[in-house]
Amino acid sequence: MARVLLGVCGGIAAYKAAALTSALVQRGDRVDVIMSESATHFVGSLTFAALSGNPVLTSLWDAPESIPHIALVRAADVFAIVPATANALAKLARGFADDLLSNAALAARVPLVVAPAMNAAMYEHPATRENLRLLVERGVTIVEPDTGFLAERETGVGRLAERDAILAAIDAALARTRELTGQRVLITAGPTREAIDPVRFLSNASTGTMGIELAREALARGAAVTLVLGPTLVAAPAEAHVVRVTSAQEMCDAALAGFSGADVAIATAAVADWRPAESYAQKVKKSDGPATLALERTPDILATLGARKAGTFLVGFAAETENHERNAREKLQRKHLDAIAVNDVSGGAGFGTGDDEIVLLWGDAGRKALGTGSKRVLARALWDALDVLRARN
């Protein structure tokens, strides 16, 4: 049994949300319904109250003493908005909070499943497309509308998805939240800095975004996450246990400390391969600077973890500029990894916040392309793929 918070917006398809409520109740879920003011022009709140067996809320001001938008989202396991109007998509995407439904959506920490329904021109409008893109970026599940007969007596895209598709999306969102419950996940992220002197260092362009997004997704799936994070200005999720480190040696020590108890370890950090053989205690004067810098290897963190592996599912990342998959597969074997995610960083792609392309490799020939997208979207795809892979092992 799950607690489903159902938001109903003011569109023709609002009546279909009544059938969805009934289907959820019949399979044993508890349903709390919030209707937008516009939705009440289409279907009476009484319908949803009777079908759900719970009071229906439509206004922020009906029972303000209970702060309903916070209480309802805290109690819910999943928040589904069916149908979502063009207006609701715009408000969700931009963070407007001018009624109960939009306040609840903004306050929700649970997965959001949004099923839009509208006229084809509204759905295809660049503003709506952009709003949908922003929501997908943020990890919202969009249940794409179907193409079919619309209320305007014409055929086009914008018809609310079938009930089974919406139920499946709700189930997938719920399953995801439980997938890593009770599991411990260790993630390394960010660059390292290898000191030349107190103000100069060797480093790289990594921002730690991929690892931070993987940590965020693991938390959303119920894991306890330790994030070993190199120097970055990107904010780490507050719910993670964040261990801040600077050098490769510090990162290696912190990763080893967290490794033995971890069910899954993912090494995304762009660890410096070399460090200055000698580090100066005082800032080196321009005039005294060494003409050459002698370097030595830093510890290979992934190989160190791979050598000590006992039951932890170990995933590496390979940022390659050439022969990507061949090099990554060699690394997979040599470092005793269970899987490796390969991304092409030629031309600087892969670093920073732009789009990325990832292929996951495992075993002798296992391969799954996770596609191209933001690190947020790829983090979800990667955890989905790891879930399938771990279930097989």
Q: Which of 87, 188, 247, 312 binds ligand FMN (CB under 6 A)?
A: 87
Number of residues that bind ligand FMN (CB under 6 A): 15
Length of the chain: 393
Q: What are the beta bridge partners of residue 242?
A: 227
Give the shortest CB-42-to-ligand FMN separation in angstroms: 7
Give the shortest CB-60-to-ligand FMN separation in angstroms: 13
Task: Tell whether residue 10 is a contact of ligand FMN (CB under 6 A).
Answer: yes
Give the shortest CB-112-to-ligand FMN separation in angstroms: 15
Q: Which of 3, 12, 44, 204 binds ligand FMN (CB under 6 A)?
A: 12
Task: Tell whether residue 86 is a contact of ligand FMN (CB under 6 A).
Answer: yes
Binding part of the chain for ligand FMN, among 10-18, 50-58, 173-181, 352-360 by CB under 6 A, reads 10-18
- Residue 337: which H helix or E strand, with range? none
Peptide bond connecting 276 to the previous residue in cis, omega within 30 degrees of 0 = no
Binding part of the chain for ligand FMN, among 9-17, 234-242, 354-362, 384-392 by CB under 6 A, reads 9-17
Binding part of the chain for ligand FMN, among 82-90, 106-114, 268-276, 368-376 by CB under 6 A, reads 82-90
Tokens of 65: 């003493």
Q: Residue 157 phi/psi, 5° resolution?
A: -85, 145
Binding mask 18-37 for ligand FMN (x = CB under 6 A): ------------------x-
Give the CA distances from residue 159 to residues 6, 145, 167, in Å, rounded to whole numbers and listed in that order.
19, 5, 16
Task: Tell whether residue 38 is a contact of ligand FMN (CB under 6 A).
Answer: yes
Q: Report whether 84 contacts 123 (CB < 8 A).
A: no
Task: Give me the residue whose beta carbon is nearest to ligand FMN.
Answer: 11
What is the distance between the alpha carbons of residues 219 and 215, in angstroms, rounded to a whole number?
6
Give the β-pairing of 366-373 and 356-362: antiparallel
Q: Which of 118, 202, 236, 270 binds ligand FMN (CB under 6 A)?
A: 118
What is the distance between the alpha carbons of residues 40 and 105, in angstroms, rounded to a whole number?
19
Task: Tell whether residue 9 is a contact of ligand FMN (CB under 6 A).
Answer: yes
126 vs 347 by CB, closer to ligand FMN = 126
Q: Is 360 helix (H, G, I), strand (E, B) or coil?
A: strand
Q: Which of 117, 161, 186, 219 binds ligand FMN (CB under 6 A)?
A: 117
Binding part of the chain for ligand FMN, among 47-55, 80-88, 266-274, 348-356 by CB under 6 A, reads 80-88
Binding part of the chain for ligand FMN, among 73-81, 85-93, 164-172, 297-305 by CB under 6 A, reads 85-93
Task: Tell whether residue 40 is a contact of ligand FMN (CB under 6 A).
Answer: no
Q: Is 229 helix (H, G, I), strand (E, B) or coil?
A: strand
Q: Report whether 265 contacts 313 (CB < 8 A).
A: yes
Catalytic positions: 204
87 vs 247 by CB, closer to ligand FMN = 87
Of the candidates 112, 109, 116, which has an alpha carbon nearest to the alpha carbon of residue 89? 116
Give the β-pairing of 313-320 and 339-344: parallel
The secondary structure of 123-143 as a DSSP string is HHSHHHHHHHHHHHHTTPEE-
Task: Tell whether residue 143 is a contact of ligand FMN (CB under 6 A).
Answer: no
- Residue 310: which H helix or E strand, with range? none
Q: Which long-range contacts (CB under 8 A, 24 or more apart) does 289-296 make?
A: 293/196
Task: Tell whether residue 141 is a contact of ligand FMN (CB under 6 A).
Answer: no
Q: Report whether 302 contacts 221 (CB < 8 A).
A: no
Task: Tell whether residue 131 is a contact of ligand FMN (CB under 6 A).
Answer: no
Where on the chain is the footprint of ligand FMN (CB under 6 A)? 9-13, 36, 38-39, 85-88, 117-118, 122
